[in-house]
Chain A
Amino acid sequence: MPTIEDLHSGLGRGPHRGTASVVAVTTKASSAGIVNTVSTPGVRRAFTPRKKKKPWKSWLLFLLFAGPNVALLIVFTYKPLLQSLYYSTLQWNLGSAAAIPVGLGNYVSWFTDPGTSRVVTVTLIFTVATVGGGMVIGLLFAVLLNRKLHGRGAARTIVVAPYVLSGVAVGLLWLFVFDPNFGITAALLDAIGVASPPWYNDPHWALVMVIIVYLWKNVGYVALIYLAALQSVPRDLLEAASLDGASPMRAFRNIVLPLLGPTTFFLSITTLLSSLQSFDIIQAMTKGGPLEGTTTMMYQIYQEGFQAGRAGYSSAVATILFAVLLVVTLIQMKYVEKRVHY
């Protein structure tokens, strides 16, 4: 995974001047010709780019090979990112021709809206519970699957299976599991003499419900990545620790966990990104309700933009969320880079 420094140096001009000029010097002798790259044999046309004779031929090929992908990214990711920033300064309804510039008005109304603190709280709870809970449960599963137990291969497959299913289908089938009268949870709770909580009608329980379903669907991925990392922990290191009298718990905390650092770092970023983007489960199960109890910022962006039609306001929320996402990711990279040894 490239560090954010790589991205920055990619954005800066400095280093490239150097490489570019080297290429220019080594390739001055080359003669023109685009098509005959194909048919030029010879020892000197070795594969490594440094020995290339015709730089701009390579540049042209580069554009042919990478150009379409980059063009798509510009048209459907980077340009809309800037557009979204612009839309956020408009009072504009989706599909309408009239747009009034309001400056930072949308931002002001979001920050001063009485409902905003609830949306932020819901987002925080959902994110912390799904990312943190996912990592803890995923690691537990991974440790379990790493033991020499019969059937652990099959168990690994089964634990990962929900991850490949459609979020909508998962949400719908869990809606039936959670049915307060006729579902599995109601039956299980009834068996221990507890009445089923009103999963559908209470904003707090609804949030718990979508968090559980999100964890069920995604925890297998975390377990899988941790398992792969655990399998690369040298066994003799643990045996040495055990000979030294360290308890398994201690060995795990002092040897295994630090070695899992890079994996935890990777997972913290990827699971945060996917948790913040979760839409399918919420849409299938609660549509953000009841009483907006499951409306995360991401869901609010959808709702404001496409249900309420307030595209400008929605874009402002999107911009705020993206800014938060960028800052959090940057902090993660900066902070964790110092503490993790690769």
Chain B
Amino acid sequence: MAPTRTSPTTTTPRRRQPLQLGGYLGLVLAIAIMVLPLVWMFLAGFKERDEIYTVPIQWLPEAYDLSNYAAALAAVPFGNFFLNSTITTVIGAGLKMLLGLTTAYAVVFLEFPFKKFVFGLVIFALLVPQQIVMIPNFTLVASLGWINTYQGIIVPGLASAFGTFLFRQHFLTLPISILEAAALDGASHWTRLWRFIVPISAPTIAAVALVSIVSEWNEYLWPLLVVDRADMMTLPVGLTLLQNNDGVTNWGVLMAGTVLVTVPVLIAFFALQKRIIAGLTAGGVTG
């Protein structure tokens, strides 16, 4: 791994002034395209109706009051959405990591006659899109009485395929001497995993965990199918309730709701960007 590491040979400075200028123009353009829609959303959250429905468009609101936020919070139970998203993300991502770690450990360090087959089974699952299996899964979850429950949201997507793959790749690179020392100490496999392997794999685990948390948090289709009660909805599902509240889109309120959903993730992303980027890159670099 270590995707951001640059090789020592890359330090020679290059002097091409006109190209540099073009480079900066490109950079500014790229940043503008990425940032402007987010700024637009953020500002709209503060705008009154007459500031939104105006031509030519008005970028800045007259006043930064929170009435749209109050309206969004009054219209739908955002507190519940936030709680439900937190619960399903923490439990879902946590268990997924646990399953990924133990499966990868088994595949790398334990002996089993059909090991390759088992690993193939895990990897092949990466090729099966969730939508292909959603009708049978929905039927199963409904028959278990899991509609509008946390287990209904969490369990069907719990299995770890990509995480297992990444952890396996990482475990294969671990120095065998440390593990042999652990074995000599008479540590059980369970102890070896938690006392030796997990600590030295912390950067990889953190990177994969963050990516897993982000995707659980943003998960939309499955929670949309198995939840129809507002108090059990997660943030992405609940957010759409603001969309068709009264037939006409009230952009100010909808954008305030969208800010509530996106800004926590953006803050977390900027705070932990090194690790998240490492996690995103992990799959590509090992490939």
**Residues of A that sit less than 8 Å from B by CB:** 1-2, 6-7, 9-11, 15-16, 19-20, 23, 37-43, 45-49, 52, 55, 58-59, 61-63, 65-66, 68-70, 72-73, 75-81, 83-84, 87, 94-95, 141, 144-145, 147-149, 151-152, 155-170, 172-177, 179, 181-184, 186-187, 190, 216, 220-221, 224-225, 228-229, 231-232, 234-236, 239, 262-263, 265-267, 270, 273, 276-277, 279-280, 283-284, 298, 301-302, 305-306, 311, 314-315, 318-319, 321-322, 325-326, 329
Contacts and interface: CB of A to CB of B under 8 A. Distances in A.
21 contacts: A7-B124, A15-B116, A43-B184, A48-B180, A59-B110, A65-B106, A66-B112, A72-B155, A95-B142, A149-B24, A156-B277, A160-B273, A164-B276, A169-B258, A174-B37, A225-B280, A229-B285, A234-B9, A284-B243, A302-B131, A322-B132
Given A149-B27, A228-B285, A280-B236, A177 B37 contact: yes
A77 to B, nearest CB: 5
Given A16-B113, A231-B3, A47 B135 contact: no
A159 B34 contact: yes
Given A2-B123, A47-B179, A176 B277 contact: no
B55 interface: yes
B102 interface: yes
Interface residues of B, number: 127
Interface of B: 3-7, 9-10, 12-14, 19-20, 23-24, 26-27, 30-31, 33-38, 40-41, 44, 52-57, 99-100, 102-103, 105-107, 109-140, 142, 155-161, 164, 176, 179-180, 182-189, 191, 214, 217-218, 220-221, 224-225, 235-237, 239-240, 243, 249, 251, 254-255, 258, 261-262, 265-266, 269-270, 273, 276-277, 280-281, 283-287
Contact of B111 (A58, A190, A229, A262): A58
Contact of A184 (B40, B133, B180, B265): B40
Contact of B120 (A11, A61, A169, A174): A11
Given A10-B120, A159-B31, A176-B40, 6 more contacts: A55-B111, A175-B249, A182-B52, A225-B280, A270-B283, A326-B127
A166 B4 contact: no
B279 to A, nearest CB: 10
Contact of B134 (A55, A73, A190, A305): A305
B78 to A, nearest CB: 13
B67 to A, nearest CB: 18
Between B26, B44, B258, the greatest number of chain A beta carbons within 10 A of the residue's beta carbon is seen for B258
B127 A273 contact: yes
B286 A176 contact: no
Contacts of A172: 239-240, 243, 254-255, 258
A66 B119 CA distance: 9
B180 A46 contact: yes
Nearest to B37: A177
A93 to B, nearest CB: 11
Contacts, number: 360
B23 A166 contact: no
A58 B23 CA distance: 57
Given A48-B176, A66-B103, A231-B6, A165 B265 contact: yes
Contacts of B139: 94
Nearest to A239: B12
Contacts of A58: 110-112
Given A173-B255, A182-B57, A325-B127, A9 B116 contact: yes
A235 B10 contact: yes
Given A65-B105, A77-B128, A169-B236, A228 B113 contact: no
A165 B273 CA distance: 13
B186 A84 contact: no
B179 to A, nearest CB: 4
Nearest to B32: A158
Contacts of A75: 140
B111 A69 contact: no
Contacts of A141: 30
B135 A305 contact: yes
Nearest to A173: B41
B156 A76 contact: yes
A281 to B, nearest CB: 10
Contacts of B114: 16
B188 A262 contact: no
A209 B113 CA distance: 52
Given A55-B111, A164-B269, A173-B37, A87 B136 contact: yes
A321 B114 CA distance: 30
Contact of B27 (A77, A152, A277): A152
Contacts of A181: 53, 55
A23 B129 contact: no
B57 A186 contact: yes
Contacts of B37: 173-174, 177, 184, 216
A75 B112 CA distance: 22
A166 B262 contact: yes
A214 to B, nearest CB: 13
Contacts of B240: 168, 172, 283-284
